[in-house]
Amino acid sequence: MLNWDDVIRFASQGNPEPERRVEKSDAEWRAQLSPEEYRVTREKGTERAFSSEMCELFEPGRYACVCCDALLFDAREKFESGTGWPSFTQPIRENAIAYHNDGSYGMRRIETTCNTCGAHLGHVFPDGPAPGGLRYCMNALALRKLKD
């Protein structure tokens, strides 16, 4: 189970190696994704809070990256954070997510990206529920819900 110290270590010292890598040209990403998915995942955008029904979905299943289909989260780790974005306590595997220091907008945050294709997912914060204390605050547009 990852905790905040692990996140800080990955962001500062390097992320674990992914199981595979997916690289595409900008034109290929634009052809594959909707304009909003492209803005969020490839340009580090953010969707409006409470703009997705995904926040209210708590059925069993898994969540994959909308860009490369890499598995990112299990629905058992999803919780209602009240923030307006889907929130999870842990990734599906330690090497599913990459972590990057983000000083944009005058804030100090940790950006999360898909470790397979580099898609921007959102940010992780140290204010989640026990036992790990993490809150992965994700853009719903960056995720695709899979049915089990």
Q: What is the pLDDT, as a whole number, of residue 107?
A: 81
* Domain residue limits, the chain: 4-12+21-146
The neighbouring-strand residues paired with 102 are: 109
Q: What is the pLDDT, as a whole number, of residue 116?
A: 98
Has residue 27 got a pLDDT over 80?
yes
Residues sharing a CB contact under 8 Å with residue 25, sequence separation 6 or more, in sequence order: none
104-147 pLDDT, tens digit per residue, is 878 889 999 999 999 999 999 999 999 999 999 999 999 999 97
Q: What is the pLDDT, as a whole number, of residue 106?
A: 81
Among 18-27, 51-60, 88-97, which is the least confidently predicted range? 51-60
> Could you give the residue numbers annotated as active site?
137
| Amino acid (1-letter code) at residue 52 | S
Q: Which CATH number fits domain 4-12+21-146: 1.10.3720.10, 3.10.20.740, 2.170.150.20, 3.40.630.40?
A: 2.170.150.20
Query: What CA–CA distance (Å, rounded) separates 33 from 49?
Result: 21
Has residue 148 got a pLDDT over 80?
no
Q: Are the beta carbons of 16 and 2 closer than 8 angstroms?
A: no
Q: Are the beta carbons of 19 and 95 closer than 8 angstroms?
A: yes
